[in-house]
């Protein structure tokens, strides 16, 4: 397999889909090469917008992603679009079934759409290690917008907010009462909210509760800052859509486009901060790999762990022992 970065970069820029796909594999498979990758990629063109799409399993993220892609492609026929979709790896076998493409196959033969499925590979936070790198390669090959769809998340997997320019939280009716909307985590991570499945019962009620919860939150924040001179009743960014019926998707894209035009200048600095976070993640992953290699996987580490249970050693002492071995 060709793994020489400058060669692959040239080929990918020249239009080779294979080379771009290989670069993406390096991004996900070789965190230890991140420094080389970042140095090599600092002058690559970047997407205008990296949009994170997150929400609970079954809230309709993939269908929404598909319809956003369709709308973007219709609006800008000569612009390229990237889609990164992450599904979970099994914590038991390490295997994964990546099924997001099923809902996006109408774009499969569109040369202006590049879709890449990633398995989370034990990475918590809703994304996969290297997801940002994959989005970066999409920038290299000229993607104007990159949609990053996370695994179905619970309440606290909000890494996407640190990896995207804008984070969209997708909700669907039937997933909990208004107290759920006050909880910390996911709801704080959203720059904008989409109530999906507008054609279903309860969607309008959810939309209203969400509006009021977000207004309450904005007021509480202003109150804490003790400056009530600002806008006390800001209009939260909430959209009521039905992805499967392609209902209100146009308004959603209008909103996203206006936001991108307005804020893009401020994103460069954010993106720089995200690179630091990315390096940190890669570093932690490399440490984790080395420790696991030394410690052994579940079966192999049993005898060591039994020494703790028998009182022969402590968690702290064993950890030091393992770390010493890692450095040998």
User: Does residue 116 interact with another protein by CB under 8 A?
Assistant: yes
Nearer to another protein, 137 or 252 (CB): 137
List the structure tokens of 265. 């200048």
**Among candidates 54, 52, 26, which has minimal Cα distance to 41?**
26
User: Does residue 119 interact with another protein by CB under 8 A?
Assistant: yes
Nearer to another protein, 18 or 75 (CB): 18
Nearer to another protein, 85 or 164 (CB): 85
Of 93-101, 150-158, 165-173, 183-191: span binding another protein (CB under 8 A): 93-101
At its nearest, how many Å lie between another protein and the CB of residue 220?
A: 43
At its nearest, how many Å lie between another protein and the CB of residue 210?
A: 32
At its nearest, how many Å lie between another protein and the CB of residue 19?
A: 10
- Measured CA to CA, the distance from residue 130 to residue 128 in angstroms comes to 6
Site string for another protein, 20-39 (x = CB under 8 A): xxx-xx---x----------
User: Does residue 105 interact with another protein by CB under 8 A?
Assistant: yes
User: Does residue 284 interact with another protein by CB under 8 A?
Assistant: no
User: Does residue 90 interact with another protein by CB under 8 A?
Assistant: yes
Residue 155 DSSP class: S
At its nearest, how many Å lie between another protein and the CB of residue 89?
A: 7
Contact between 213 and 182 under an 8 Å Cβ cutoff? The reply is: yes
What are the residues facing 6 on neighbouring strands?
A: none
196 burial via Cβ count (<10 Å: 0-12, 13-18, 19+): buried
What are all long-range contacts of 2-6, with beta carbons under 8 Å and residues at least 24 apart?
A: 5/36, 5/37, 5/40, 6/40
The residue behind tokens 């002058």 is 43
Near another protein in 197-236, by CB under 8 A: none
- CB neighbours of residue 72 within 10 Å: 24
- Measured CA to CA, the distance from residue 202 to residue 62 in angstroms comes to 21
- Measured CA to CA, the distance from residue 49 to residue 310 in angstroms comes to 55
- Measured CA to CA, the distance from residue 234 to residue 230 in angstroms comes to 9
- Measured CA to CA, the distance from residue 100 to residue 204 in angstroms comes to 27
Site string for another protein, 42-81 (x = CB under 8 A): ----------------------------------------
At its nearest, how many Å lie between another protein and the CB of residue 116?
A: 6
At its nearest, how many Å lie between another protein and the CB of residue 264?
A: 27
Residues near another protein, by CB under 8 A: 1, 17-18, 20-22, 24-25, 29, 89-90, 93-99, 101-102, 105, 108-109, 114-117, 119, 121
């Amino acid at each position: 397999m060709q793994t020489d970065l400058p060669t692959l970069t040239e080929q990918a820029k020249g239009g080779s889909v294979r080379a771009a796909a290989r670069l993406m594999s390096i991004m996900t498979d070789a965190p230890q090469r991140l420094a080389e990758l970042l140095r090599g990629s600092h002058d690559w063109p970047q997407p205008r917008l990296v949009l994170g799409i997150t929400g609970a399993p079954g809230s309709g993220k993939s269908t929404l992603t598909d319809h956003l892609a369709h709308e973007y492609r219709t609006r800008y026929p000569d612009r390229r679009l990237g889609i990164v979709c992450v599904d979970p790896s099994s914590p038991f076998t390490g295997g994964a079934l990546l099924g997001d493409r099923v809902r996006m196959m109408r774009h499969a033969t569109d040369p202006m759409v590049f879709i890449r499925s990633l398995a989370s590979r034990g990475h918590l936070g809703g994304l996969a290690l290297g997801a940002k790198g994959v989005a970066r390669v999409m920038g290299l090959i000229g993607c104007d917008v990159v949609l990053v769809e996370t695994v179905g998340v619970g309440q606290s997997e909000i890494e996407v907010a640190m990896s995207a320019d804008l984070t969209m939280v997708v909700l669907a009716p039937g997933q909990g009462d208004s107290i759920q909307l006050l909880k910390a985590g996911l709801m704080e991570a959203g720059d904008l909210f989409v109530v999906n499945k507008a054609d279903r019962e309860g969607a309008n009620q959810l939309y209203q509760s969400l509006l009021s919860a977000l207004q309450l939150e904005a007021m509480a924040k202003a109150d804490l800052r003790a400056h009530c001179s600002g806008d006390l009743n800001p209009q939260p960014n909430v959209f009521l859509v039905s992805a499967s019926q392609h209902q209100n998707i146009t308004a959603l894209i209008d909103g996203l486009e206006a936001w991108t035009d307005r804020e893009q200048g401020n994103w460069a600095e954010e993106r720089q901060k995200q690179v630091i976070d990315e390096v940190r993640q890669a570093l932690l992953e490399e440490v984790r790999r080395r420790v696991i290699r030394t410690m052994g996987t579940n079966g192999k580490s049993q005898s060591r762990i039994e020494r703790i249970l028998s009182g022969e050693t402590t968690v702290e002492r064993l950890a030091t022992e393992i770390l010493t071995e890692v450095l040998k």
